[in-house]
Amino acid sequence: MRKKFIWLITLVIFWFGAASWLYAHKLEIKITPLPSVVMVEAGYSGHKHGLSGGDVFIYAPRDSEKAFQTGKTDAKGKFAFIPDQAGDWRVAVDDGTGHKSEQILSLGEDFFLQKPTVPGSGESHPPEQARDVEKEKASKESEAAPSQAQVPLVWKALVGVSLVFGIAGILYGAKARKKSG
């Protein structure tokens, strides 16, 4: 009985301990449109530092095959590019170990009408003119049905664990029945 109790306590501690980490391993990107330049910041959720040396792929509107620009994030996980046309720009970041994140950024014509900000000039331009289509699309989709990207990681983990236990249970039942029969 005591051993079972210790097991139960260990399992509960492990489960809740793990749950606090579960959100932490996802690769996330943040896109900030500045006047004439778009800045991409990549990093793991839950981390203060960015992903350094991550592979960045920028795809121009109407050209999803050939990358407009490729490169690597700097030591702080940042990468910048200069778009040359309005439309939906696809930004993908890959850390090279199986984690990838992608976003679509919609740039309007007004983005190209702004003057570049001179550092220290005191001028600033609000970045609101560039809409994050992914978020808009996601919020629209969430009204109908949650997409896979929206499902929290902890729920995915629970689904996976449930499926694994379910498969094991079915196999156990089938084997036990075969053995007894």
Partner 1 sequence: MHIADGILSTEMAAAADAVSVGALYVFGKRARTEEIPKMGIMAAALFVVSLIHFPVAGTSVHLGLFGLAGILLGFRAVPVVFTALLFQSLLFQHGGLLSLGVNVINMSAGAVAAYFLWRIRPVPEALRAFLCGFVGIIVPALLMAVEFELSGYGRGIYYLMSIYVIAAGAEGILSAMIIGFFRKVDPRILPKYPVIKEKK
Alpha-carbon torsion (28, 113, 115, 124), positive or negative: negative
Return the number of the residue (112 or 155) whose C-beta is nearest partner 1.
155
Q: Mapping DSSP to helix (H, G, I), strand (E, B) and coil, where does residue 92 land? A: strand
Q: Which is nearer to partner 1, 34 or 153 (CB)?
A: 153
Q: Is residue 33 within 8 Å of residue 116, measured between CB atoms?
A: no
Among 84, 140, 179, 181, binds partner 1 (CB under 8 A): 179
For the CB of residue 165, give the shortest distance to partner 1 in the complex, in Å.
6
Binder of partner 1 out of 72, 135, 137, 175 (CB under 8 A): 175
Q: How far apart are CA 113 and CA 100, in angstroms?
A: 33
Please give the Cα distance from 124 to 121 (Å, whole number). Answer: 8
Range 119-158, binding partner 1 (CB under 8 A): 153, 156-157
Residues 7-26 contacting partner 1, CB under 8 A: 7, 10, 18, 21-22, 24-25
